[in-house]
Structure 1
Amino acid sequence: MPQVASNQRLTNLRERRMPASERYMAELLTEAGIRLDGQAPWDMRLNAPGVADRVFARGNLGLGESYMDGDWECDRLDEFFHRLLRARLHHKVRPSRVMFHALKARLLNRQDSRRSWQVGEQHYDLGNAFYGAMLDSRMTYTCGYWKNASNLEQAQEAKLDLICQKLKLEPGMRVLDIGCGWGSFMSYAAEHYGVECVGVTISKEQTAWARDRYPDLPLEFRLQDYREVNEKFDRVVSVGMFEHVGRKNYRTFMDVAHRCLKEDGLFLLHTIGSNNRSGGADPWIDKYIFPNGELPSLSQITDAADRLFVVEDLHNFGADYDRTLMAWYDNFKVAWPQFREQLGKRFYRMWEYYLLSCAGAFRSRDIQLWQWVLSKNGLEGGYRRVS
């Protein structure tokens, strides 16, 4: 009993010395089952003063930057964010800087043709060796489909096959891939379904890698902005690129897909999505990971497709992105020694924060992964779902 009283006095003493901002942060975190300086894997441990002030002033930008600086630790960042987002604490902290960032996204076209190349240079051109160590053998940098898969390689192949089946590909078809990445879909579709593909990307590294990797397949890789494409295709696909389009360009994107798709064709759109159409871009992700990126809502996509497309099918398997991100994180950790000297400790903490915070966001169902199948005029007799 005396020991309990002593511990309580120490706790009270610490609370009296804790700055008001830390006390308030501690109170908020308890609503999510997270303790400040607790012992659970998802608890937040402070290594330096001022973390709470940075968080309340700058939102997730302050939280992420203070983690990159080593000012706080957490054994399981994925679980920290799962609990944080599931409790909707991010709706209770809306600093003015975050509000300004969201307002700027609404008013400005931050993904115009000049700025569209920035994400390729900053993110995708990190180096093919880096991504090769983290991803599967085809370098598929989008959500896997884990329904019948036991590892990352199987999940990514299952996703690629799912897309091919949803598009009802047949030999000899010509397919446009908007935002083709390293050509994972194009190579799989050509090898397994006998189609020809044209892919556009804004990454020099991706273009060079894909051209070298698949010289004998009927694939054309173009370093080109999607808005410049003006040809007809039997099928159009876009996997993990719409997140870079931005709300000011959603209709333009749909116009491009519409003009490039034959009258009897199908268009598959695979994109991460937001539950909130007014959320804007996450400022930390925007600054350090995907410049000028923004997650669309369901209503924003349907608004953009209005009078252009009939929605034949909509499939949400966002929970599978959690497992995909955790697999990427495991690969990243194993491969890190070969990149440590080149990229440094702060990059490691940044990339760790990126992968695990996103895993927690998908686990909490705060963000989604959608596959849309669209046609120009509606398929006679309807569309039969492939699962």
Structure 2
Amino acid sequence: MNERILISGASIAGLTLAHWLARYGFRPTVVERAPAPRSGGNGVDVRGNATEVAERMGILSRIHEFATDVHGMKFVDAADRAVARIDTRDPASIEIMRGDLVALLHEVTDVEILFGDSILGLEQDDDGVSVTFEHAPARRFDLVVGADGMHSNVRRLVFGPEERFVQFKHHYFAFADTDASLGENRWVTMFNTPGRMTGIYRSGNHPQAKAYFMFRSAPLRYDHRDVAEHKRLISEAFGRESSWRTRELLDAALADPDFYFDALGQVRMNSWSDGRVALVGDAAWCASPVSGAGAELALVGAHLLAGELAASGGDHRVAFARYDTAHRPLVNAKQRIGPNVRLMVPRTEGGRCVRDVVARLPLMKVIGAVERRAQARNARPLPEYALGRRGNGA
């Protein structure tokens, strides 16, 4: 029942879902707009039940091998003097570059992937979904899942325009490759002016560093796929800034063909499914990069969606409802991002001074430990589902 499942998006959520669907006996197909697995991206955290998902997939030891080994955040003044540090290391969490995690997931996911293509149209009826593609011939599937990010094409086609679901969080951000010598090894170094942050992320296990930019702004109108326009926007925001190493980082970022820019936003939806179409990952619940929970939610949510489809014998009406019920509490918790944005991008010079004082206090470490203990107490066990036998999940 409902064996043929199309997944739009070959990033963390999409590949994880495809992996588990195949193991449960379904026949997933993935369509991905990019011509190959996406290798770029920032650091992401694997923690909580996501660690168990990775262990069940057989990639946890490899994730440890690729771990970034970043110690924490360092705030500096214009003369590059450290004014505060926050140790963010957590023994229960593993940080890995997004591109490395996608590569590991791709290695263990043996399914049909249509690279360089995208869904053009969807038409569902009582028996399935007719799908047209930009390039491939039209095909028929039993179910379709959108795992195609905050700007989800599947969500737009089935649920409605993006503006109904994406909540703008008053900031824009960008990152790109840069010279590792500009930052301290194993630290994320940040420099602030009011409403702006320039930073450099330097992993202990990677030769390449990342330049980061974030700025406070009213909503901007732009094409989220137009990289030239993205570079113009970041140049307008930081081009007149000469303090610290902003000019060097900006020049490197603008020269990087994998430059990434987007709004800081969250996706809020009352339901992640409509008939035979469901959403997973950032398409359904993007918590924003400052939550630090994107990979965790994607791994766990995809595992739950595949498992519930297996446990229900492929009955999407039962599975989609159970998936929503099981995963929504974690999503709601992770979307409460707290003071993270104010910590990284104080609005005023006075706010920056207060941030620096607070960051130097041992209180920050205590608060982090308390939050981790609370999360551990409230965590739900990850369900076990029977492999290869749809309808027999525990």
Tell me the TM-score normalized by structure 1. Answer: 0.25
| Structure in which a larger fraction of residues adopt helix | 1
Give the structure, 1 or 2, with the largest relative contact order (CA under 8 Å, sep 6 or more): 2
| Structure in which a larger fraction of residues adopt strand | 2
